[in-house]
Amino acid sequence: MSGLATKETNRSVDHFIENIDSPSKQEDSRLLLKMIGEITGWQPKVWGNEKVPDFLIGFGNYTYTRKGSKEEFEWFHIGFAPRKSKLTLYLPLDLDKQGSFLNDLGKCSWGRGCLYLNKLADVDLEILRRLISHSRKSVQP
């Protein structure tokens, strides 16, 4: 399989989190790691591209073929990236259709499958947990 620059790596998840510059992002990452792991039952893996050190943590994986292509790609089901300005959650849902969760979640923004948070303290963690659980139920392992 080739094509995507972002791939599952053998990097240590703990080492990745320990090397996040912001202590609060480290703490939020550890909480997300625990929360997503408990909900999904999947082991976290560091995903990224060694040429462009921009890594994230993904849970589960699957193979897909793009429309009109025969090339297969591997991707994770649910993931998150602790970026400098935001925590980005990658969810297998069209978030524009998740108003029941997002209206009560708290301070956040979103794009189709990405939820952007400044910090976990800005959101209701129980609603976030329910959104992740709903995401998990939408995919096959």
pLDDT band at 141 (very low <50, low <70, confident <90, very high): low
Name, of 62-66, 82-86, 128-132, the range with top average pLDDT: 128-132
The mean per-residue pLDDT over the stretch 122-131 comes to: 97
pLDDT digits 0-9 by tens, 82-114: 998 999 999 999 999 998 899 999 999 999 899
The mean per-residue pLDDT over the stretch 56-74 comes to: 84
pLDDT at site 13: 97
pLDDT at site 5: 77
pLDDT digits 0-9 by tens, 14-60: 999 999 999 999 999 999 999 999 999 999 999 998 777 779 999 99
pLDDT band at 1 (very low <50, low <70, confident <90, very high): very low
Quickly list DSSP for 24-88. Answer: HHHHHHHHHHHHHHHHH-PPEEEEEBTTTB--EEEES-EEEE-TT---EEEE-SEEEEE-SS-EE
Q: How many angstroms separate the CA atoms of 39 and 29, rounded?
A: 15
Cβ–Cβ under 8 Å, residues 47 and 56: yes
